[in-house]
């Protein structure tokens, strides 16, 4: 059953007031992990059940869950199996309708990534002393690229003309298919919460498209999420574009020429614009000495800033770095994993 958004908002407000009064425990902020699941690729995780367990949970040296690290999973992807890109400028060209359909089916179809995720949540919940309940799942919306003349999806042709209705109609068809596939899975430990807009900026020619997509997402009973890059076009207008929640990318980890003060700037910018902040890391933290300390400024920020740490978090875990960190016997890597989980573990009584 779908509830009007004002009903959900009112329920959340009542729950918050009860928490302040001490009648219910406060709900911890959701910690979202970005999972690039759906199909195997060299150098990336295929996201087995155990992989998802290690993305969701703080684990001990035997791999046993001892707490929650992530309580939301944002399923995303940049490139299709064909080599074409879901994001402008990636791959051999813009993804076509076959790519869109293959991706959503591989994520939400029988035996797909979401089925493995459901099993992982069930296992972690059975091992940890408390459960956040069915955890929220968000699914990426590939960018409807005008580099294609037409996209055929689910048996229908959609014109990709910049000012025409075809791009919005393609996205609507994708939203519908995703929701139907998720409902058919009857997952006991997951709830479909949101769609995620992949393009990390919003130029003027996309403004109306994003607003129309936001309306379509909300009409289906979902939320609309965004993670724009540092100072990207229109990032500060995220609310006006129709997004329900947004996190700012510091874009610090990946560029060794950028000083640590970038994270401080991103923190201030995120707070000023009522956004959360994304944490960024990839396997170079483990494999490349130049990146060994690139995670520290993020953890420093979340450790020192209670306001930032009280908000929801999005964590970019490129190529399953956290999975590898949780398994590593290297003392340096183990120490980094320990610090990450000490600071970011989701605590039941978080304010």
Give the pLDDT confidence of 83-95 residue by residue, as tens digits. 999 999 998 999 9
C-alpha span between 136 and 333 (Å, rounded): 29
**Among 207-216, 244-253, 309-318, whose mean pLDDT is lowest?**
309-318
Whole-number pLDDT of residue 39 = 59
As a whole number of angstroms, the distance between CA 31 and CA 15 comes to: 19
CA 310 from chain center: how many Å?
A: 18
Q: What is the pLDDT of residues 35-60, one digit of tens each?
A: 998 655 555 567 999 999 999 999 99
In a domain? residue 7: no
Looking at residues 164-193, what average pLDDT do you find? Answer: 97
Instruction: Say how many domains are in the chain.
Output: 1
Q: Give the CATH number for residue 192.
A: 3.20.20.70
- Residue 140 within a domain: yes
Alpha-carbon distance of 322 to 54, in angstroms, equals 7
Q: Give the per-residue pLDDT at 180.
A: 97
pTM for the model:
0.91
Q: How far apart are CA 207 and CA 109, in angstroms?
A: 32
Q: Is the pLDDT of residue 24 over 50?
A: no
**Domain contains 3:** no
Domain that holds residue 329: 24-344
Residue 284: pLDDT over 50? yes
Burial of 59 per CB tally in 10 Å (0-12, 13-18, 19+): buried
Q: Which pLDDT value is given to residue 18?
A: 42
In-domain check, residue 91: yes
Question: Considering the domain boundaries, does residue 15 fall inside one?
Answer: no
Inter-residue contact 105 to 114 (CB < 8 Å): no
Q: Which helix (H) or strand (E) covers residue 297, if one does? A: helix 296-304
In a domain, 78, yes or no: yes
Q: Among candidates 230, 288, 284, 300, which has minimal Cα distance to 258? A: 230
Q: Indicate if the pLDDT at residue 17 is higher than 60.
A: no
Q: What is the mean pLDDT of the chain?
A: 91
State the burial class of residue 95 (Cβ atoms within 10 Å of its Cβ: 0-12, 13-18, 19+).
buried
Of the given ranges (28-32, 70-74, 333-337), which has the lowest mean pLDDT?
A: 28-32
- Give the CA distances from residue 205 to residues 129, 164, 232, in Å, rounded to whole numbers and listed in that order: 49, 11, 15
Confidence of residue 14 (pLDDT cuts 50, 70, 90): very low
C-alpha 174/C-alpha 182 separation (Å) is 12
Classify the C-alpha dihedral 222-229-210-160 as positive or negative. Answer: negative
The per-residue pLDDT for 37 is: 86
**Can you tell me the distance from the alpha carbon of 175 to that of 220, in angstroms, rounded to the nearest whole number?**
8
Give domain status of residue 13, yes or no: no
Residue 3 scores a pLDDT above 60:
no
- Per DSSP, the three-state class of 218 is helix
Q: Are strands 190-197 and 135-141 parallel, antiparallel or unpaired?
A: parallel
At 5, which helix (H) or strand (E)? helix 5-21
Confidence at residue 11, expressed as pLDDT on a 0 to 100 scale: 46
Q: Give domain status of residue 339, yes or no.
A: yes
The predicted structure's pLDDT at residue 45: 60
Q: What integer is the mean pLDDT of 1-9?
A: 48
Q: Within 10 A of 8 (CB to CB), how many other CB atoms are there?
A: 13
């Amino acid at each position: 059953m779908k509830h009007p958004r004002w009903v959900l908002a009112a329920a959340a407000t009542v729950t918050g007031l009860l928490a302040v009064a001490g009648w219910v425990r406060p709900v911890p902020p959701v910690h979202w992990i970005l999972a690039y699941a759906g199909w195997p690729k060299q150098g990336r995780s295929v996201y087995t059940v155990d992989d998802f367990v290690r993305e969701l949970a703080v684990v001990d040296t035997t791999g046993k869950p001892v707490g929650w690290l992530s309580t939301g999973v944002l399923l995303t992807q940049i490139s299709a199996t064909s080599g074409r890109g879901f994001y402008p400028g990636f791959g051999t060209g813009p993804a076509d309708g076959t790519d869109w359909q293959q991706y959503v089916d591989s994520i939400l179809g029988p035996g797909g990534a979401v089925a493995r995720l459901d099993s992982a949540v069930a296992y972690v919940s059975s091992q940890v002393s408390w459960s956040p309940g069915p955890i929220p799942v968000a699914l990426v919306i590939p960018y409807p690229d005008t580099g294609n003349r037409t996209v055929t999806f689910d048996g229908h042709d959609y014109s990709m003309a910049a000012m025409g209705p075809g791009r919005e109609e393609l996205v609507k068809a994708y939203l519908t298919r995703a929701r139907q596939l998720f409902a058919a899975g009857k997952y006991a430990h997951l709830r479909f919460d949101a769609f995620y807009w992949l393009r990390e900026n919003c130029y003027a020619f996309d403004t109306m498209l994003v607003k129309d997509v936001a309306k379509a997402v909300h009409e289906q009973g979902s939320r609309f999420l965004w993670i724009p890059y540092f100072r990207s076009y229109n990032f500060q207008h995220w609310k006006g574009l129709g997004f329900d929640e947004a996190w700012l990318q510091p874009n610090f980890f990946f560029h060794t020429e950028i000083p640590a003060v970038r994270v401080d700037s991103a923190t201030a910018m995120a707070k000023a614009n009522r956004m959360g902040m994304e944490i960024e890391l990839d396997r170079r933290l483990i494999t490349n000495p130049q990146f060994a300390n690139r995670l520290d400024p993020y953890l420093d920020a979340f450790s020192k800033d209670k306001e930032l740490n009280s908000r929801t978090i999005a964590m970019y875990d490129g190529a399953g770095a956290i999975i590898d960190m949780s398994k590593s016997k290297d003392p340096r890597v183990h120490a980094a994993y320990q610090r990450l989980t000490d600071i970011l573990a989701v605590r039941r009584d978080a304010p």
